[in-house]
């Protein structure tokens, strides 16, 4: 017995042996330490007393007790469980039937504190997950960069090529017998391509500002009706070329403290988007206010989009369609939404596939000061 007790006390696990009547036959000090059971409880030699004491320190006492009773209900059962204590420790519990002359005479429980190991495993798994996520994000960033470089190169090359051809034509037409009308037409095409290049550069600069910490707003008193008018003038040539009718419903001034230039770019971006995807049908702009919110809605009657496309439409480089069929850097709506949010507003889209789309910009209006009593 001395040798057996010395062996039990040398074990790293907490050992408990009970007979068929659930009377405690043997236990070591490690078992008492793991479950913080005082000597007077173990001295009573009843497993029920120990279970009643341990119940109060378990994270899920009812689940723990029902599991123990289920194991006892099958004398020949072998079990393995992990129980959590209220202090955060995790205890592995092995239970095997005890045989003597091929007959079950009791049960042996072995307990091991695996808190440090499990936490280390969880930390390892968390780090692995973070590493995989970081790798996936890096790979996605590289893919987006490569795609962006390819698209940007194409978008920049197109107006540059057009400018080059126009300038070469002007050189020929400026010879004796110059055709003034052809030269004027060529200059108009030059202006359009220069505006296109300027818009591309502005977009890239805006993205750089956003990544560096946000857009710098220059606030002043702005009438959204004037913003719409100026934006419409920016795309007037394109509207006429495509034969698209622009219908503006803005009966009253809507004035707030905003960055007029930024909001003009927002409306211009929405107009360019409606022209591109509107299928040549009329574009409608509605401006309204309820005294608290200024609401600008732009509706086209083009290809529309499904819910999945809408969910990623305002992301950087987000696209609703393939770049093969429609140009652009995939930055316009991202920059527009960021500018609106910088004003404390919001921007959203409502659309169905094949049913066109309505983009809505909501901006907070300055509240009038309350009258003195």
Give residue 225's pLDDT band: very low, low, confident or very high (50, 70, 90).
very high
d(CA 46, CA 240): 94
pLDDT of residue 15: 93
pLDDT of residue 283: 94
Give residue 213's pLDDT band: very low, low, confident or very high (50, 70, 90).
low
Domain boundaries, the chain: 2-113, 125-214, 216-366
On the question of pLDDT at 197 being above 90, the answer is no
Environment class of 234 (CB within 10 Å of its CB; exposed 0-12, middle 13-18, buried 19+) = middle
Which one of 3.30.450.20, 2.60.40.10, 3.30.300.130, 3.40.50.2000 gives the CATH number of domain 2-113?
A: 3.30.450.20
Q: CA of 127: how far to CAs of 111, 119, 122, 164, in Å?
A: 29, 12, 8, 54
Would you state the structure tokens that stand for residue 37, as one six-digit string? 């059971």
pLDDT of residue 147: 61
On the question of pLDDT at 288 being above 90, the answer is yes
User: Is 125-214 a domain of CATH 1.10.287.130?
Assistant: yes
Give residue 349's pLDDT band: very low, low, confident or very high (50, 70, 90).
very high
Chain segment 245-273, per-residue pLDDT in tens: 999 998 889 999 999 988 998 999 899 88
Using CA atoms of 180, 182, 183, 184 in order, give the dihedral in degrees to the nearest 10: 90
Contacts of range 305-313, beta carbons closer than 8 Å, 24 or more positions apart:
305/349, 305/351, 305/353, 305/357, 306/352, 306/353, 310/349, 310/351, 313/349
Give residue 373's pLDDT band: very low, low, confident or very high (50, 70, 90).
very low
Rounded to two decimals, what is the model's pTM? Answer: 0.49
On the question of pLDDT at 85 being above 80, the answer is yes
Q: CA of 305: how far to CAs of 81, 112, 215, 270, 358, in Å?
A: 51, 58, 29, 15, 11
What are the DSSP calls for 74-116, one per residue? Answer: STT--EEEEEEBTTS-EEEEEEEEEEETTEEEEEEEEEEE-HH
pLDDT of residue 155: 61
Environment class of 273 (CB within 10 Å of its CB; exposed 0-12, middle 13-18, buried 19+) = buried
d(CA 371, CA 373): 6
On the question of pLDDT at 369 being above 50, the answer is no
CATH code, residues 216-366:
3.30.565.10
- The helix/strand/coil state of 234 is helix
How many CB atoms lie under 10 A from the CB of residue 62?
9
d(CA 229, CA 103): 95
Enclosing H/E stretch for 137: helix 115-173
On the question of pLDDT at 64 being above 90, the answer is yes
On the question of pLDDT at 81 being above 90, the answer is yes
The conformation of residue 170, written as its DSSP 8-state character, comes to H
Percent of the chain with pLDDT over 90: 46
Give residue 92's pLDDT band: very low, low, confident or very high (50, 70, 90).
very high
Average pLDDT over residues 156-162: 68
pLDDT of residue 325: 41
d(CA 90, CA 59): 10
On the question of pLDDT at 162 being above 80, the answer is no
Strands 246-249 and 283-289: parallel
Chain segment 290-322, per-residue pLDDT in tens: 889 999 999 999 988 888 888 788 886 555 544
pLDDT of residue 150: 57
């Amino acid at each position: 017995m001395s040798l057996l007790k010395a062996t039990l006390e040398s074990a790293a696990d907490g050992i408990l042996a009970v007979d068929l009547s659930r009377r405690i036959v043997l236990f070591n000090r490690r078992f008492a330490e793991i479950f913080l059971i005082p000597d007077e409880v173990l001295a009573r030699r009843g497993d029920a007393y120990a279970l009643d004491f341990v119940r109060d320190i378990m994270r899920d006492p009812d689940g723990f007790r029902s599991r123990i009773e289920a194991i006892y209900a099958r004398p020949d059962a072998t079990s393995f469980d992990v129980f959590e204590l209220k202090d955060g420790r995790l205890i592995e519990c092995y239970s095997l039937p005890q045989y003597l002359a091929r007959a079950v005479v009791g049960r042996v429980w072995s307990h091991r504190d695996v808190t440090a190991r499990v936490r280390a495993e969880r930390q390892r798994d968390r780090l692995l997950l973070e590493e995989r996520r970081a790798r996936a994000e890096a790979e996605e960033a590289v893919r987006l960069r490569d795609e962006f470089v390819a698209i940007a190169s194409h978008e920049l090359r197109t107006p540059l090529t057009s400018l080059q051809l126009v300038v070469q034509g002007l050189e020929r037409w400026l010879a004796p017998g110059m055709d003034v009308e052809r030269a004027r037409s060529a200059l108009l095409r030059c202006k359009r391509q220069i505006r296109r290049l300027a818009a591309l550069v502005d977009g890239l600069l805006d993205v750089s500002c956003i990544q560096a910490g946000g857009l710098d707003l220059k606030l002043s008193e702005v009438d959204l009706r004037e913003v719409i008018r100026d934006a419409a003038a920016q795309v007037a040539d394109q509207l006429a070329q495509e034969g698209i009718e622009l219908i503006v419903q803005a009966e009253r001034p809507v004035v707030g403290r905003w960055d007029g230039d930024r909001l003009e770019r927002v409306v211009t971006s929405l107009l360019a988007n409606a022209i591109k995807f509107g299928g040549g049908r009329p574009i409608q702009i509605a401006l309204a206010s309820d005294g608290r919110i200024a609401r600008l809605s732009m509706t086209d009657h083009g290809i529309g989009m499904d819910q999945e496309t809408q969910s990623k439409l305002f992301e950087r480089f987000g696209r609703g369609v393939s770049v093969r069929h429609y140009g652009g850097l995939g930055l316009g709506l991202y920059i527009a939404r960021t500018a609106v949010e910088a004003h404390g507003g919001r921007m959203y889209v409502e659309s169905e596939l094949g049913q066109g789309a309505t983009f809505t910009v909501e901006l907070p209006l300055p509240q009038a000061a309350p009258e003195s009593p």
